[in-house]
Amino acid sequence: MSSCINCGTPLNGHFCYACGQKSAIPRITLKNLIHNLFAIITNVEHGFWFTFKALFTRPEQVIREYIAGNRVKYYHPIRYFIIWMGISTLLSLSTGVFDTIVSQFNQISPMADDPEIVRQQAEMQKRIKAFLNFIPLLLLPFLSAVSFWLFRKRSYNYAEHLTMITFMTSQVTIIGIPIIGIYYFFPSILTYSFAISILVNAIYFGWIYHRLFQLKRLSSILVGLAVAFFGLVLMYIILGILGIIIGFLIALIL
């Protein structure tokens, strides 16, 4: 009888009953390295692509079942969101679309010939770029707060709305990936990127609210628009207030 290469326990089956090590360890190859890397990132065996497909075909079932506790076949919403956000950000950075969006937040001033102004603008762009990287993640609790308030008479609590919004925002991110390609080939459209983003959110959110809460189509789109717009406004208000408080405290300390 062979022994476990990890702990030395006699083996009887495909796994060591003491430590869980596999009894048969394949030789390392480039193929299984790539497979294992992809499996670690996406955890394909535990519902990544199943969740991807289901959120486009029957999202209300995914949300109801996941919230009800039937979660084994679905991918964890936060991990799912982070993966798609990472892919979207990588594409935006590699195509230059992200840098163009950042430059729109910090238009070149008439005094751009001044080296000090140029330096300040460069520093500002770095701060804006860092902030924009985190906006999708920061938005989740605020979108959820608006969604929870609008449906406060329904049975879902805030944490359940947060789960719902995380799934929904992930799918909107996926929808936004081909839009990045459109921005790349037609950069002039970037002027309308904010409006396009709000519109895509409103339509997809509204579609899910329509199926989940049996709202009328027009009402559901208006609700989706309210969640997308007021969630963003609420985030900027709260972050602005926090920034003022932190700045005041720093001034007191210094």
Model confidence band, residue 41 (pLDDT cutoffs 50, 70, 90): low
Q: What is the pTM of this model?
A: 0.75
Q: Is 129's pLDDT higher than 60?
A: no
Range with the largest mean pLDDT of 11-20, 25-34, 70-79, 168-177: 168-177
pLDDT above 70 covers a percentage of the chain that reads: 74
The residue with greater pLDDT, 233 or 194, is 233
Q: Which two tokens stand for residue 60?
A: 């209300």
**CA 23 vs CA 11, 139, 188: distances in Å:** 7, 46, 58
| Lowest-confidence region among 108-112, 189-193, 240-244 | 108-112
Give the Cα separation of 96 and 78 in Å (integer).
Answer: 27
| Lowest-confidence region among 22-31, 115-124, 132-141, 210-219 | 115-124
The residue with greater pLDDT, 136 or 33, is 136
Q: 183-187: long-range contacts (C-beta < 8 A, 24 or more apart)?
A: 183/95, 183/97, 183/100, 184/95, 184/96, 184/97, 187/97, 187/100
Mean pLDDT to the nearest integer, 224-252 = 89
Work out the mean pLDDT of the chain and round it to a whole number.
81
